[in-house]
Structure 1
C-alpha cells in the first residue's frame, strides 16, 4: 500500500472508530462486544456466569445465579468458579449430590446411605442449620464420641441398665430395653424400675410357711422343702407342708404315738405301752388287743388282778413279795464279773445266773434292766425255782433287777455270768 493510502485509513479510523472500542459498544460491563460477520453490526454476548435477560437487540446481562438459581437444583447454592466465573452448583447443608459434577442433583442426605449414620441410627436434620443429626434408635446406645455416632445394642452395655440379677432384652414392638428378673429373683421395684430381689426373701418365695425356701442348683429356680417335722402334701408346683404326725401317723407304726422332739422337731414315735406303761398298773404288762389295738393290761406273774369295772389293779398273791438284786451287783458288767456255766438258750448268748439265799425263797418272775438289751423278763429255772437265768445277745451291763419271789426274803444275788 502506498503511503497516501495508509494516511487515508488512519484518517478514516480517526473519524470513524470501532464501536466496540467506544463504551464497549454499549454492551455493558458484563458482555463481550464484537461484530456480526455479515453486517458488521455490534453484537453483545454475555460473559461466562451471566445470562441475557433482555432481547437479542437489547442485551441485558444478569448474574446467572439470580435467574432460576443459575439452573442449579432448588436444594443447591449457586456460585461462580473463581477461575472462569462459570456457574457452580453446591448442594446445601443436609443435601448430597447424587448427579454429576456438571449436573448436580441434590438429594436429602438422609436418603443416601442413611446420611452416613450408623445402621442402627435414625438420620434427621438440625433445626438450625439443617446439618445431619444421627440419633441411635430405641434399644441402642451411642458408644462413639462427638459427631461420630456408633450405636450398640443397649443390652451389651452395663446390662442395659438392668439389675445385676435381671436379663436385658427388647420389647418386640418398640425395641425398648426390657428388664426381666432371672429365675429365683422377684421384682420388688416397679415396671419401669426393675429391682430384682432373691425370691426367698419375698414372702418366703411363695413357699408354705412351714417350708424352707432355697434354690435349685441347676436353674436357681425356687425350691420349697418342708421343715423338719412337716410332710409335703401338695403338688410339686405348690407344696403344702403339713405336720408329719397328721400324715400317716408320721411314719410311726399304728401302735405308736407320733410327736416331735422338743429341740429338733424331728418326728418321735412313742408306743402307747412305753408311755407310763400305757396307764397300766406298775405291776402289769402292757400290750395291745390284736383285734382293736386297744391297750391291754395283764398282771405280771406273781400278781393277781384285784381291780374291777375293767380297771386292772395288780396285787401280790399271798405268800409272795418283791425282791431286788443285791446293790453290790448293780452296774455289773458281763466282761468283769465272775464266770460260770449256764444252760444253753435261744434267748441270748450271754447268761446271767441269779439265786435266792435259800430254798425257802423261790423265783416267781424276774425283770432285769440292761444298758444295751434293755428290759428282759424271760428266764430259765434249773435245777429248781431257786435259780433264774436270763440272757442278753451281747456283753452288757446290769442296771437293775427286780423279782417276785415266793417267800419273805427281799434280796437276791447275781451268782455268775457265762458266755465268751
Structure 2
C-alpha cells in the first residue's frame, strides 16, 4: 500500500481508499467493450478525485494506450511525473495558454478554432518543432469544437500549417451530448455529422492517427461510435455513467473509491434535542448521536443534508440535520458504537455500504460529482499497487 503523503500511524480522521486492482480490472473490461479500438484513460480533475498519477500508471499497466486531461497544466504534471512514453491529449485551452510548453512536452493539443491554431503554430515556431494537433468538431454538443460551417476553413488552415512543417494533424474528434440517454435521437445525428466532417477533412488530405467521439457511455452502449479510440472517464473509476445504463456491476465495473471516516463522538441525548445548524432535525425520543468528522470542506455535499446515507456499526444511518463545513451527525437510534469505529460514506457496496450513486440521489446530482469533489484534505490511500504500475513510472 502507498499513500499520497506521509501519514500518521494513528487512525485517520478520514480516508479515500483507492483500489487500483479495481481500476485495472475496469480498464480490461472497457478494452473488451471497445471493439478493437484503443483506450484513452481520462485522468482530468486529478483522475475524477482519485489521484491522476497513480491512476494513470495503473490504467497504462492494464492496457490503456492514451491519457486524456482537460487542461494542459494537468497534462504537464503527468509528463513531470515521468509519464513520457505515452500519448497525452489535453483539450481545454484559453488564449495565452502554455502552448510552447505543451509542444516541447510532445503533448497532443486540441484546436477548435482559428485563434487556437494561430497560437499553437506560433508556439511551434518558437519551439523549433511541429506541434501535435487534434482538430475538434462540434457535432451537436454546443460546447467546445468547430462548428460545421467553419470546419472547411479550419481544415484548410491546419493543412497549410502542416505543409509548412509547423503542426502534425494527429486526430479528428468530437464529443457526445446525450450518450448517457439510450436511444436519444442526438446520438445518431451526431454520428452522422461526425462522419461527414471526417470525410471532408480526409478528402482534403488529412491523415489522422486517431478518430474518436466515444466517451464512457458510448464505449459501453454505442459500438458503432468506437472508431480508432474511445475516451473512458467515469467508467474507468467504476461508476456508472447513468443509472439508465445499469449499475456498475451490471456494466462489469467495480467502484474504485471508498470514502470513510472515524466516528469522533457518540453521546446520549433526550427527545426533542435539536441537531446541527438551524435545528432542521430534532430527535423523536431519547437516542444516541454519532459525530462524523467530515463536511462540505471535504467534499461531502451540503445538499445531502437530512438525506445522505452512512454505514456505521453495520447499519445504514442517515445524516441528521445539516451537513456543516467539517462534520455532520447521524442518529444512531440508541446504538453505541465505539469512538473511532469506521463510518463508511460510500464504496462498492460489498459490505452493505452506500455507493456514490446513493449519495448522488440524496444530493440531487450525479455520481461523477460525488467522487470528483472529495477534497485534498482527505488523504488518498492506494491499495493493490503492483509491479506493472511501477513499470510505467
Instruction: Give the TM-score band, short-chain normalised.
Output: under 0.3
Taking structure 1 as the reference length, the TM-score comes to 0.19
Greater RCO structure (CA 8 Å; 6+ sep): 2
Look at both structures and tell me which one has the larger radius of gyration over its CA atoms. Answer: 1
Q: Comparing both structures, which one devotes a greater share of its residues to strand?
A: 1
Taking structure 2 as the reference length, the TM-score comes to 0.20
Q: Comparing both structures, which one devotes a greater share of its residues to helix?
A: 2
